[in-house]
Structure 1
Amino acid sequence: MIAIFSSVIVVCLITWVYFRWVNVRQFWKRRGVSHLPPHPILGSLTFLQRKNPATWMIEMYQKFNTPYVGIWLFWRPALIINSPEIAKNVLVKDFEFFRDRFLSSGSSDPVGGLNLFTTNDPLWSSLRRRLTSVFTSSKLKAMQPLIDTKTFELVERIRSTENKTKISLRYLFTDFTTDIFATAAFGIKTNATLTGEDPMRTVTKAFMEFDMYRGLNWISIFFFPKLVDIFRFSFFPKSSTDYFTRVFNIVSQKRASNRNTESKDFLDVLLKMKEEGANNGEAISDHIIIAQAAIFLFGGFETSGSILSFATYELAFNQDVQEKLYNELKEVQMQSKDGRLEIIKLSELPYINAVTKETLRKYVPMGWLDRVAALDYKVDDNLTIPAGTPIYVNAIGMQHDSKIYPDPDTFNPDRFLPENEKNIKPYTYLPFGDGPRSCIGKRFGQISVRHGIANLILNYKLVPLPGAPKPNEVEFDKRGLFLVPGQHLHVNFVSRNQD
């Protein structure tokens, strides 16, 4: 009798799973949405660990000549947006429908789950409003001494390296950006730019490494958040969050006895935010404060380091672009009394901005912008999606569209010169997103990248190595989710001055 009952249960379960699968598989077909047949377990995510998500997004854009494409995150239907008009609606016009991200790090990971990148309303709105004050022009201008120090150390690091052709661009630049973002976020002095070693650099190096377990963490956070709390996955390794907590406690205690009313850096803003919260009866925990410092570091060091790597590599293979950039920078340097490149002045130069923008067009670190529909949403006259449907704006797909950017595989900064940039179709260039949830650290990241490139070009001529892969032959990392080099890139740094 028990055996018969067990058999009935198994048959019922199999039948339910089968019909559930049939219903899932037919989801986009019933709605007349273009799609590829889903895998019975992974849905559309069969590319994971085999190719970078950005590569897959470009392929999906080019395969379907449609404003949107249906996909499945395992068994959950989601929608890729390939249309700039719909992208505008999702990111800006109908933002109230899409205030929240789909990704989540869950309650088991307070530092990973409470930061501005992963958290949702109402905490997100409160954090965004409070943190905006750190990125004003005056606050960014005050970062000049830090930027000057670290770019000088970057040049010295290269100069002191005997075999300059063996320098790994990715590690060189993430040493540099770790120093800049760690100092701004945690208020500590670090020495990775000069030496390649520092306790904080040990932490950021751990971010760059992906084994199978960490890959599962990130796949769950980005594509199956319900698993995060079940398996207690985390955005940051525990060793990293423990280190962040220790550093924050030490530095905040030192600053507590020497507080000024004027906030000088990101850490000051965080401490002031906690203080104001206590005064207003709004509990802002240390976890929330540490989470913002951690995501500022994480969101900046790897993305800015990656852009610097790709820009340096492209400039080495495009000597005409490099020399044009050098001439622009040299003229500005000669006009400066002390040879220093001022943050405001550099931000106004057309060609270095064009070089930076073109690098971000080709190699945007996160070329897909996730949101989740809070209510049923009418995408267009042909499609309404139910509440809870994840949406991905395919920014990198649009940025590689040959109809929008002719010959998109060619590195051509002239696209972004003022006289040409005005002709680019709106919402087809989204390296920092757009709308209320656009990247809050955009301007700080741009400063780091511009000054890194400028000081390199003024001091070194970048030359490609014989037999090195051309830029369009470079492999991307397949294990992580951001667009970063999947191999060590090297160039020859030839001094423009006598050492």
Structure 2
Amino acid sequence: MSGRCPPSGAEAKLTWLSSGHDTTASGLSWVLYNLARHPEYQERCRQEVQELLKDRDPKEIEWDNLAQLPFLTMCLKESLRLHPPAPFISRRCTQDIVLPDGRVIPKGIICMINIIGVHHNPTVWPDPEVYDPFRFDPENSKERSPLAFIPFSAGPRNCIGQAFAMAEMKTVLALMLLHFRFLPDHTEPRLKPQVILRAEGGLWLRVEPLNAGLQ
């Protein structure tokens, strides 16, 4: 999700695996945290998965099923907005950039882009600290700039694995919600923005297995 283009050969495989597992683990941790704090959204996601898989045994998610989980996808995207796994990226300017106030960022300068700041811009995201999956309802997002939501970076150097990452997170999240209920432990985490967004001391949740009739 950092937007870096991986090298070739063995290094490319290592970059793909290390970048992919750490960022998706962060994304999954934060969406479970957000759904634990909003049980009404968690239950709606669970019902969506149960309806999708009700006549299927074993309960497995297939690739074509991922497009049939719209509300779960909205919840995941809103979590990626609030808690982007890669909170910062850097880019070198390929030309002079004139800012709205007339100041110029010269060509060749390396700029740090604060993705958390972009995702919490109140002029784009009203009440930016509120977890609201309906921000990503198609009707509510059709007029929004695609550069307002950049958990995978943007442009020619965006994340090469973003489609795979979203598919992975949706699959894992759907199957976890099918078997477990996630509850908050009433401890508010303190963000620890590093290369990957973490919480100081980790994210702690209570997990309850669902009864056999719901599995």
* TM-score, normalisation: structure 2: 0.87
Q: 2:211 is matched with which residue?
A: 497
User: Within the alignment, does 1:310 sit opposite 2:30 as a pair?
Assistant: yes
User: Within the alignment, does 1:408 sit opposite 2:123 as a pair?
Assistant: no
CA offset at residue 338 of structure 1? Answer: 4.2
Q: What are the Cα deviations for residues 49-72 of structure 1, in whole angstroms up to 9, with x where unaligned? A: xxxxxxxxxxxxxxxxxxxxxxxx
Q: 1:485 is matched with which residue?
A: 199
Q: Does structure 1 retain, via aligned residues, the 8 Å contact 2:32–2:182?
A: yes
If each structure's helix is expressed as a fraction of its own residues, which one has the higher value?
1
CA offset at residue 379 of structure 1? Answer: 2.2
Q: 1:379 is matched with which residue?
A: 98
Distance 1:474 1:483 in 2: 12
Name the CA shift for 1:352/1:388 in 2 (closer, same or farther; >3 Å).
same
Name the CA shift for 1:386/1:449 in 2 (closer, same or farther; >3 Å).
same
Q: 1:330 is matched with which residue?
A: 50
Distance 1:494 1:317 in 2: 15
Letter in 2 for 1:417: D
CA offset at residue 461 of structure 1? Answer: 1.3
Distance 1:351 1:365 in 2: 21
Q: What are the Cα deviations for residues 84-125 of structure 1, in whole angstroms up to 9, with x where unaligned? A: xxxxxxxxxxxxxxxxx9xxxxxxxxxxxxxx9367xxxxxx
- Whichever of the two has the greater Rg, that structure is 1
Distance 1:416 1:374 in 2: 32
Query: Which of 80, 85, 91 matches 1:360?
Result: 80
Over the matched positions of the two proteins, sequence identity in percent amounts to: 27
Distance 1:342 1:464 in 2: 30
CA offset at residue 428 of structure 1? Answer: 0.8
User: Within the alignment, does 1:117 sit opposite 2:7 as a pair?
Assistant: no
- What SS does structure 2 have at the residue aligned with 1:360? helix
Letter in 1 for 2:160: I
CA offset at residue 489 of structure 1? Answer: 2.2
Distance 1:475 1:385 in 2: 33
CA RMSD of aligned residues (A): 2.4
Letter in 1 for 2:35: L
Mapping of 1:17-166 within 5 angstroms? 117=4
Q: Does structure 2 retain, via aligned residues, the 8 Å contact 1:395–1:428?
A: no
Letter in 1 for 2:20: G
Distance 2:157 2:11 in 1: 17
Name the CA shift for 1:386/1:463 in 2 (closer, same or farther; >3 Å).
closer
- What SS does structure 2 have at the residue aligned with 1:484? strand
Query: Which of 178, 198, 201 matches 1:458?
Result: 178
Aligned residues: 211
CA offset at residue 380 of structure 1? Answer: 4.3
Name the CA shift for 1:402/1:341 in 2 (closer, same or farther; >3 Å).
same
Distance 1:419 1:292 in 2: 38
Q: 2:115 is matched with which residue?
A: 395
Name the CA shift for 1:425/1:374 in 2 (closer, same or farther; >3 Å).
closer
Q: Does structure 2 retain, via aligned residues, the 8 Å contact 1:369–1:392?
A: yes
If each structure's strand is expressed as a fraction of its own residues, which one has the higher value?
2
* Bigger relative CO (Cα 8 Å, ≥ 6 apart): 2
Distance 1:374 1:418 in 2: 34
Q: What are the Cα deviations for residues 332-379 of structure 1, in whole angstroms up to 9, with x where unaligned? A: 01144643211221234211110110111011122333111245x142
Q: Does structure 2 retain, via aligned residues, the 8 Å contact 1:306–1:485?
A: no
Distance 1:323 1:291 in 2: 41
Distance 1:330 1:387 in 2: 53
User: Within the alignment, does 1:424 sit opposite 2:144 as a pair?
Assistant: yes
Q: Does structure 2 retain, via aligned residues, the 8 Å contact 1:370–1:392?
A: yes
Q: Does structure 2 retain, via aligned residues, the 8 Å contact 1:395–1:431?
A: yes
- What SS does structure 1 have at the residue aligned with 2:112? strand
CA offset at residue 411 of structure 1? Answer: 1.3
Name the CA shift for 1:490/1:378 in 2 (closer, same or farther; >3 Å).
closer
